[in-house]
Amino acid sequence: MATRSKSSQRWLQEHFSDPYVKKAQAQGLRSRAAFKLEELVERDRLLKPGMVVVDLGAAPGGWSQWVRQSMGDSGRVIALDILDMPSLAGVEFLHGDFREDEVLSQLESTLDGKSVDLVLSDMAPNMSGVDAVDLPRAMHLAELAMDFGDRHLRVGGTFLIKLFQGVGFDDYVRELRRRYSKVVIRKPAASRKRSPEVYALAQGKLAQMK
């Protein structure tokens, strides 16, 4: 059996000593990522009963689970991921690659012409550790998510997306500012400090781009 690399051992040690991992386990949540969303959503009171919420890059389901619990039985939660995700009561799951037109069409069919109130995107590519490869892949997913918001978010709706700081980041945020009345960059407490991830929160989708 191959020995684990030092970086792998460090990640495991960090993961199992992480207070958010322990808290998620204690509360029966699928992922520590739920606490990132909780902080981001509750600070601005983004979630209201009856909303239609789309969760892109949903597996293992931490965000969808938290949204469904928070909204009770009202509204719709539609989750999509390239990875399979065990079912969650009250969450509609689509298994597929968001980059493929067929999968996007399936998501649009599921919406059945209804507009979306809140688009969440925690999507990230499989990271190689090489910024020159990883950042363009991550930015491509981010652009697809923004396009989805352009087409399906209602006027006044909200878009929350994970981004990685680096090439293309400033231009992407500039594009968000053309589309939404208020855009802020946040790093929730549950995000590991050494992670380059941040979250862009874009509120108040405009009827026309600036």
Domain residue spans of the chain: 31-205
Q: How far, CA to CA in Å, does 102 sit from each of 57, 106, 108?
A: 16, 6, 10
Q: Is 11 annotated as a binding residue?
A: no
Catalytic residue (one of 22, 23, 114, 162): 162
Considering the segment(s) 31-205 as one domain, its CATH architecture is 3-Layer(aba) Sandwich (3.40)
162 is catalytic: yes
Q: If you average pLDDT over each of 22-26, 39-43, 124-128, 142-146, which comes out highest?
A: 142-146
| Contact in structure between 175 and 208 (CB atoms under 8 Å) | no
The CA distance from 157 to 176, in Å, is 13
Least confident of 7-11, 85-89, 105-109, 202-206: 7-11
Q: Which tens digit of pLDDT belongs to each residue from 79-88?
A: 999 999 999 9
Using CA of residue 105, residue 177, residue 141, residue 124, what is the dihedral sign?
negative
In this prediction, residue 20 carries a pLDDT of 42
Residue of 129, 198, 121, 186 lying closest to 152 (CA atoms): 121
Q: CB under 8 Å to 179, separation ≥6 — which residues? A: 146, 149, 150, 202, 205, 206, 209, 210
97 is an annotated ligand-binding site residue: yes
pLDDT of 93 strictly over 50: yes
Give 168-195 pLDDT, tens digit per residue: 999 999 999 999 999 999 998 867 676 7
| 61 marked among binding-site residues | yes
- For the chain, the farthest-separated pair of C-alpha atoms sits apart, in whole angstroms, at 58
